Amino acid sequence: MAEKFVRVNATLYKDMLKRIDSFAKKRHEDRSTAIRQLISTGLRERNKKEVVEAYRDNRITLREAAKLLSVSYLEVQDILAEEGIPISDLTEGEAESRMKKVKKDTF
């Protein structure tokens, strides 16, 4: 079933409306489509920011972050790396030590 549109009214600054119209023109779209795309992008970015902060504050796990962002486990790791957030609390030395142990136990 297709999503149904609901008409809403919004009051915008003239400059903002000019920028929206410019955005729409560059993409050969109408104003309504441009506004929907901009709102969708803004909401997605806002959600991303909130999820990244929640992960940084240890309020959610990596898997929860991936689910909230509707991305894969690996993609959320890339997103966090782009934000400069470490995936693990291990120091480089601890990580190397664990890798040596895994290799020793495996081979």
CA distance 51 to 73: 14
Confidence of residue 52 (pLDDT cuts 50, 70, 90): very high
74: Cα within 13 Å, side-chain hemisphere? 0
Q: What is the pTM of this model?
A: 0.69
Mean pLDDT throughout 84-105?
Answer: 73
Proportion of the chain in helix, strand, coil states, percent, rounded to 5: 65, 0, 35
Q: Return the DSSP state at 60.
A: S
The string of pLDDT tens digits covering residues 62-83 is: 999 999 999 998 999 999 999 9
Higher-pLDDT residue of 58, 29 = 29
- Predicted local confidence at residue 89, as pLDDT: 62
Among residues 55, 48, 88, the alpha carbon closest in space to that of 71 is found at 48
Domain map (residue ranges) of the chain: 14-106
Residue 90 backbone phi and psi in degrees, to 5: -70, 140
Phi, psi of 26 (to 5 degrees): -60, -30
Q: What band does 1 get if pLDDT is binned at 50, 70 and 90?
A: low
Residue with tokens 């962002």: 69
Give the model's confidence band at 96: pLDDT under 50 very low, under 70 low, under 90 confident, else very high: confident
